[in-house]
Amino acid sequence: MKVGFVYDPIYLKHDTRQHVENAARLEAIISHLEQTQLIRQLTPIKPRAASVEELSLVHHKQHISYIQEVAQKGGGWLDPDTVMSTDSYQAALYAAGGLIETSKAVMRGEVASAFALVRPPGHHATATRAMGFCLFNNVAIAAKYALTKYNLERIAIIDFDVHHGNGTQGSFYDNPQVLYTSTHEFPFYPGTGNLDEIGKGEAKGTTVNIPLPAGCGDAEYLAVFEAIIVPVVRRFRPQLILVSAGYDTHWADGLAMMQVSVTGFAQMVKIIKELADELCSGRLVFTLEGGYNPTALAASVKATFDVLLGNTNIEDPLGKSPRGLAAPSIAPLIKAIKEIHNLL
């Protein structure tokens, strides 16, 4: 079983200086994959720049032109969270294009599954706005490309970043061809993703938000996957599964207040992989979103690859959270979401 990956040094040229979303994130991942020699088990996929036409599947052309112009002027802050450099536009083109090429490799059967190790991330970017460290919405662009290119009828996007993917949700809120499901800390940036946001029109019910309270760990996330995500995805019967993989729910990550471990991520990925094997001939594509503790991020990405490769020995160098915080009860939340989405 071949597992692919996309990486290119162009992603390091999105120079954000001391910003928490910086080049050291990818450097830590690649270094760890090389040091553990896991990278030898992976099949490289060559990225390319997305075209303006491909970006326009999601973004207004005025937004695309604006990002290009800011880069040409030397970069700068787009909002209090999001910064660009001279090379950020090109890096963002390669991030979106890299995920398109990753999806193509999976759809063509060249690899069974794959992970796009790209930056800048994407799931906050809307049709008209860069925000939350994101310039273009990589996963939304790849989903719309796959729907068109391969005449697919149904794609599922699973987002386990600690922040709600407001841009991805907005891209498909009225599109019944795409199931978007998100686990995220709530209320938290960007303030969207409440459980009553379920899609509209013919797409009502194809947005499934799971707004979790701070302090949730492996047990809570696995309960959500088993009670909500698995039955929702099974009912939808996707032909391709895309994953916005954010590892900022790890307990060592300073940007949030969750308690997931590397082992917990591996368990979630295993569930997603089993769904892909069951429903869509294993067609499964991951793209990197958040994760800001280099050690936790690198170990979690490696664990993801291990699961995709079928390796059973998952290394968790950080273990469980040492804070010993009592996890919140999410049983009422799960019950409410199951009622909204008719999962009882």
* Residues taking part in catalysis: 124
Backbone angles phi and psi of 156, in degrees to 5:
-105, 135
* DSSP H/E element including 288: strand 284-288
CB 258 within 8 A of CB 270: no
Sheet holding 240-245, edge to edge: 43-45, 3-6, 113-116, 284-288, 240-245, 155-159, 178-185, 207-212
Reported as type and span, the H/E element at residue 77 is: strand 76-77
Q: How many CB atoms lie within 10 A of CB 246?
A: 29
Q: Which two tokens stand for residue 214?
A: 């701070």
CB 188 within 8 A of CB 315: no
Strand partners, 61: none
**Torsion angle defined by CA atoms of residues 224, 157, 256 and 10, in that order, rounded to the nearest 10 degrees:** 150
Question: 217 by DSSP, 3-state: which?
Answer: strand
Largest CA distance in the chain: 55
Rg of the chain on CA atoms, in Å: 18
Q: Residues with Cβ < 8 Å from 324, sequence gap 6 or more?
A: none
Say which amino acid occupies 12.
L
The CA distance from 188 to 265, in Å, is 21
Q: What sections of 237-329 are H helices per DSSP?
A: 262-279, 294-309
